[in-house]
Structure 1
C-alpha cells in the first residue's frame, strides 16, 4: 500500500493528567502515515484523486489544539478516528503523538504514543 507522510507537525495543546498541563498547555508533535492507493492520483495529477494535505494538517491541528484530553493515547485515538471517518481514500493510519516536554523528572528527549488503526472491511 502507498502512503502519505506528515512529519513533526507542531501544535500547542492542553492535554495532560496534571492541572498545570491543562492550564498552561505545551507543545505536541504529530507524525502521520496515511495508507492508501495513490495510483489514480499518480496517473491523473488531479488533487481530487488523493487526500488534500492541507485538510489533513487542519484536521490534526483541530484535534490537538481545540480538543482536550488527559491522555496522549486519547489524542492519538481521536485523530486516527477522525482521519478514517473523514477521508474515505485512507485505508489505514499510523498516528504518533510526541510530548517533548512532559512534566516528569529525568533526562530524555520526549515521550510518545504510536497507534495504527485500519478501516473495517465493510467501511471501504
Structure 2
C-alpha cells in the first residue's frame, strides 16, 4: 500500500481515476482509518469551497479532448503529436471521461459501418433485375 497524495484522494472524490486505482483506494479505505479521515477532510474542504488549481483543472476537464478531436483520432486524420497526446491521455493517464467518449464513438463508428454495408446490400439486391447484360 503506497502513500496516497491529496491529489489522488481528490481525484478519487471526483471519480476521475482509472477503475483499478479507484478499487485500490476503496480497499485501502476499508482498513485505514487515517486515510478515511484524510478523505473526509478533503471532502469537507471541497464542500466549503476550498479548491486548488489541480482540483479546478480536473473538475473542468481542461486537459480532456473534445468528441470532435477524439473522432479525428479514430479516423486517423489527426497529426502525430496530437494523436500521441490522445494515447497518453487515455491509456497512460487513464482518463475515464475521454475513454468513455472514445468507446462511444467507436461504437457509433461500428454501427455506421454495419448500416452502410446493409444499405449497399439492399441497393444491390433491388437493382439486380434492372442491370443490362
Q: Which has the larger radius of gyration?
A: 2
Give the TM-score normalised by the residue count of structure 2.
Answer: 0.31
Q: By percentage of residues, which structure has more helix?
A: 2
